[in-house]
Structure 1
Amino acid sequence: MVTVARTENLTSLLDEAAAAFIDLVRDVQSDGTASARVVLTGGGAGIGLLEKIRERAEEIDWSRIHVFFGDERNVPLDHEDSNERQAREALLDHVDIPADHIHGYGLGSVDMAEAATAYEQTVRDVAPDGFDLHLLGMGHEGHINSLFPHTPAVRETERLVLSVDDSPKPPPGRVTLTLPAVARARRVWLLVSGADKAEAAAQIVARANPEVWPAAGAEGSEETVLYVTDDAATRL
């Protein structure tokens, strides 16, 4: 079941999601030893959320967080299109998170298939029980991470990480977490804003066929929340 958290606009959506993020991480860390394992997402809403979290960064123990990325473009870290670079600029470079707690893909000059295999092993080693939270943005056609409609990657049922060489959205080369990887998260939060995403948002709630609407296949083991603005909620 999907819980709908409807807000007036993107600013209120990001405020609400940032507060929930802080609460979740603090809850995971409350026993004094546990580390939170979270998957970040790119895009306007994803990076905007990181900027909001940065405003309250002192409320979190960053030494006990492991950060992963839902997908990455096949570009080096210093490229403007790198999801990791954008996340670092928005948040990670401004907090005291250990360097080895930021789990990037290391793309740009390595074989993507090999990078996918290595990243899957990292996920299994560092998050053997899954993620505490997987954040997801969404495209107007319902894509999440680099899982696009009617593609082999969205149909994957076993692998946690795949390389993609035919992304319909440039650049074509990417590495992505799959729906089985998303399903290992206790909580999945989708951040959706914009009138052009109203149909896809409705398909999430309807639990449509993920091959047609990939976001509809995103589900956490304990919680799935659709953070959605009024303009994207007109068909709910």
Structure 2
Amino acid sequence: MDQDSRAFRWEQRNGRVLAGASALFLTSYTVRVLAHDLPRGWLDLCLAVTLLCWAVFAVDYAARWRLSGLGPSFVRVHWLDTVVLVLPLLRPLRIVQMHDAVQRHHDRPRLSLHARVAVYAGLSATLLGFTGALAVYQQEHTAPDATILTFGDSVWWTCSTLATVGYGDVTPVTPMGRTIAVFLMACGLALLGTVTGSFGSWLLQVFAREDERRPPGD
């Protein structure tokens, strides 16, 4: 069995495990950030679950690296997976891989495929916004001179940042909060580009096929 087939079978077999680990990771992280009044033991349990989920991501990454046969080049070829491993809160960014798959289908317009990209991009933006709001709130709400004091403030700021509006009524003041802001701005532009690029590609395919069907001279 060749390496590509083995890697594909690994991804197919462990997709649900990774989806479950992602859900557990987000849930445990959310509880740790928002549930300040929980007993210390419960917070420690949430931290343990978070670390265990990250370990699952690391094992999956290592297995795919080994099965790919690429050696150190795997890090460069699968750079997005590498970023997501280091920063698990950015897992929604894997929507970019779906966009690349769509771009390889130029034989005929497939609205269902492009529509799925738009839907997944919307879901990814929602998840990314939620995790970004959690991360910013965790860093900002206890900082001196902070303007993001509640989780609601953080959600409002995250929405305006992902939409590249930036009202400026609430802004991060800590170095880590501002670093997260830079990531969110870049992610907002990337997700917007994914949706518009997919829709534009579909329109070009439709118009090209209409031109092919048009009788000469029209």
TM-score category (smaller protein): under 0.3
TM-score w.r.t. length of structure 2: 0.24
Q: Which one has the largest radius of gyration?
A: 2
TM-score w.r.t. length of structure 1: 0.23
- Structure with bigger helix share is 2
Higher relative contact order (CA 8 A, sep 6+): 1
